[in-house]
Amino acid sequence: MSNSDNDAKFCYSYDSKYTDMQAVEVGRPYQGVPAPINIEDAATYIQPWNGYDPQCTLDNKEQCQCLPSQTFNIKLNSEYNNVEVESDEWMSLACEAAKEGLAGGGGPFGAVILQIDDESNEVIRYWKNHNHVTKWNDPTAHAEVTTIRAACQQLGVFDLSKINKKDSKLPQPGQTSHCIIYSSAEPCPMCYAAISWARMPQLIFAATRYDSAVQGVAFSDEEIYEEMAKPYSQRVMMKVYQSSTENSLDAFNLWKRSPKTPY
Question: In this predicted model, what pLDDT tens digit does every residue of 173-198 receive, in sequence order?
Answer: 999 999 999 999 999 999 999 999 99
Cα dihedral 239→242→243→245 (10° resolution):
150
For residue 9, the model assigns a pLDDT of 63
144 catalytic residue (yes or no): yes
CB 80 within 8 A of CB 98: no
Pairing label, strands 163-164, 122-130: unpaired
Compute CA distances 47 → 73, 86, 87, 126, whole Å: 8, 10, 11, 28
Question: Which pTM does this prediction carry?
Answer: 0.93
The pLDDT tens digits for 228-255 are: 999 999 999 999 999 999 999 999 999 9
Which residues 6+ apart lie within 8 Å of 29 measured at CB? 120, 121, 122, 123
Q: Is a pLDDT exceeding 90 seen at residue 34?
A: yes
What whole-number distance in Å separates Cα of residue 198 and Cα of residue 184?
Answer: 18
The pLDDT tens digits for 71-130 are: 999 998 889 999 999 999 999 999 999 999 898 888 999 999 999 999 999 999 999 999
Catalytic residue among 100, 122, 144, 186: 144
116 bridge partner residues: 123, 178
Compute CA distances 35 → 165, 166, 251, whole Å: 31, 35, 47
